[in-house]
Amino acid sequence: MKTPLGWAADRWTLSPRVLRWATTFALVMGVLIVLGGGIVRVTGSGLGCPTWPECEAGSLTTTPQLGIHGLIEYSNRMITGLLEVAVACVIIAARLQKPRVRSITRLAWSQFWLVVANAIVGGLSVLAKLNPYIVAFHFIMAMALLTTIALTWHRVHEQHGRPREVRPAARSLSWLTLAVTFLLICTGTVATGSGPHSGQAEDGTPVQRMAVDWLAATWVHGLLAGATLVLGVLLLVILRTPGEKLARERAGFFLAAVLVQGAIGVIQAVTGLPDVFVILHVVGASLVWVGAVRLVLDVQPGLFPSVQLTQAPAQSPRARATLR
C-alpha cells in the first residue's frame, strides 16, 4: 500500500537545493525553540498556561485572564508548531528526492518523533508544576533534537572534493570534547534547576528546585567549561596539516562559540544573573552543542559521510512535474 508521500514522490521531484534549505530552516527553528524556552524560564512563565495539552481548562489558546505569562508560554508552544512545520518540510523534501536516499528520510522522521517526545516532556513538566528534573530532561531532549537536525544538515550539504586525512589523536580528542561538552550542558541544567532562575512565577507561586548546592553546581559547570575550552585549543593546535583544513575550521568555530559562551557566563555571574544574559547563555549552549557535534563529524569524515545529492529525472511514467 502506497503512502501519501510515496504517491507524491511518483509525481513530483524536489531539487537538492530545496532539501538543503529545509534542513537549514529546521536548524534555525531548533535553536529558536531553545530561545523560547529560555524566555519562558526567566520571565517566570512556565505555568503561564497552567495545564496541557490545553492552555487552561476549556481553552487550547491563552486567554486575557492568564495575562502576559499566558501569552509568553502559549507563544512558546506556537514556536513548537513552527518547528513541526520545518521538520515536515525536511521529511517531504527528503522523500521527493530522485534518487531517494533512505538514510536522510529516516533522519528526517527521527526529528519528527523527537519533536513529539519533547512536546510530551514539556507538557509533563507543566502538569508536574515545573519539576526541575523534568524541566532539565526537557532541555536535554532539545539537545537530542538538535543533534539529529545537525546530522541531517551535515548529510545533505556538499562537502566533497576536499582532502580529509585527520590523525587519530585529533579523532580521539573530538570524541572527548563531545563528551565533556555534554557533561557541561548537563551540569548547566543542574545549576539552573538549583538556582534563582528555576521558573518561579512572579506571583510567588513556589516552584521546586533541585536539592543541590547552587554554588557547587556553578563551580563544577565552570570547571567543565574551562576543560572544554582547553580541548578546543588543543584541537586547533593539532589540526594543522592541509588535509585537516576543514576540521581545523570546524574546531575554530567551536572554540569561538565556547569563548563567547564563557564570556556570557562570566558576565551573568558577576552582574547578578540579568535576564538577557541568562537567555543568551541558554541559546549559546545550543550553539556550542551543535558545534561539538559538527566537530566530530568533520574530524572523522568516515563516521557519518555527507551525501552527494543529484537531480535525476523522475523514473515513473506518471511523473508530471519537477520542482527545481
Closest CA to 80 of 116, 110, 109: 116
Q: How many CB atoms lie within 10 A of CB 125?
A: 23
What the block records as the C-alpha cell of 128 is: 508536574
CA 275 – CA 296 distance, rounded (Å):
32
pLDDT tens by residue, 111-153: 999 999 999 999 999 999 899 999 999 999 999 999 999 999 9
Which range among 33-37, 97-101, 196-200, 220-224 shows the weakest confidence by mean pLDDT? 196-200
Burial class (CB in 10 A: 0-12, 13-18, 19+), 132: buried
Residue 206 C-beta-side C-alpha neighbours within 13 Å: 3
Helix (H, G, I), strand (E, B) or coil at 59: strand
pLDDT value at residue 137 = 96
pLDDT, mean of residues 3-12:
87
pLDDT value at residue 323 = 34
- Show me where the domains of the chain are located: 1-158+306-324, 163-303
pLDDT tens by residue, 28-68: 999 999 999 999 988 888 889 999 999 998 899 999 999 99
pLDDT value at residue 310 = 64
pLDDT tens by residue, 240-291: 887 788 888 889 999 999 999 999 999 988 888 888 999 999 999 999 999 9
